[in-house]
């Protein structure tokens, strides 16, 4: 009798926990993620505030799952799921499954105001953290230049930063003082 094939879409905390748990059983697992690394999201604010480098909170998915011989890892974007045919379309290839777990995570919300995104980046990915870091450091550099070139050495126009969101990430980001 062939072993069941389980496809897990997403290698965040949910997807990895499912893979590590199911890997103990006689099933074949395929883990699909659009990136080849898992990001430890609770520390993204430390990347954004220069306390940590991106590599300190990212680990290769294959490395995390390497001790499980019944787990395969694929990098790519799932573009379609056909529940009737029990297939997942991955960049043009069809992957069949017996069981499917969709653990793609969450995305920040602008509550119907997508125009805010260019001014207020979210903090869900390493790319988001690096963009926030870039913006903050640039503003601080410009403020330093302005202070040094002001005729009276005035610092009255120091920059202010606004953190929108009072959840754990927002509180941690607002309270970080490494920059």
Which residues are known to be catalytic?
172
Burial of 173 (0-12, 13-18, 19+ CB in 10 A): buried
Cα dihedral value 70, 73, 107, 131, nearest 10:
140
CB 39 within 8 A of CB 131: no
């Amino acid at each position: 009798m062939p072993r069941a094939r389980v496809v897990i879409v997403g290698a965040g905390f949910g997807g990895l926990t499912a893979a590590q748990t199911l890997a103990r059983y006689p099933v074949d697992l395929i883990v699909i993620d659009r990136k080849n690394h898992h990001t430890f999201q609770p520390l993204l604010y430390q990347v954004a505030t220069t306390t940590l480098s991106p590599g300190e909170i990212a680990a290769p998915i294959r490395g995390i799952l390497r001790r499980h011989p019944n787990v395969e890892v694929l990098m790519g974007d799932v573009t379609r799921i056909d529940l009737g045919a029990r297939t997942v379309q991955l960049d043009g290839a069809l992957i069949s499954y017996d069981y499917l777990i969709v653990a793609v995570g969450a995305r920040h919300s602008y509550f119907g105001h997508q125009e805010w995104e260019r001014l207020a980046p979210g903090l869900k990915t390493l790319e988001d953290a690096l963009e926030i870091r870039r913006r903050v450091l640039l503003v601080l550099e410009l403020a330093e230049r302005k202070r040094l070139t002001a005729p009276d050495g005035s610092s009255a126009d120091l920059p202010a930063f606004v953190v929108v969101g009072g959840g754990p990430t927002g509180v941690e980001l607002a309270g970080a003082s490494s920059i």
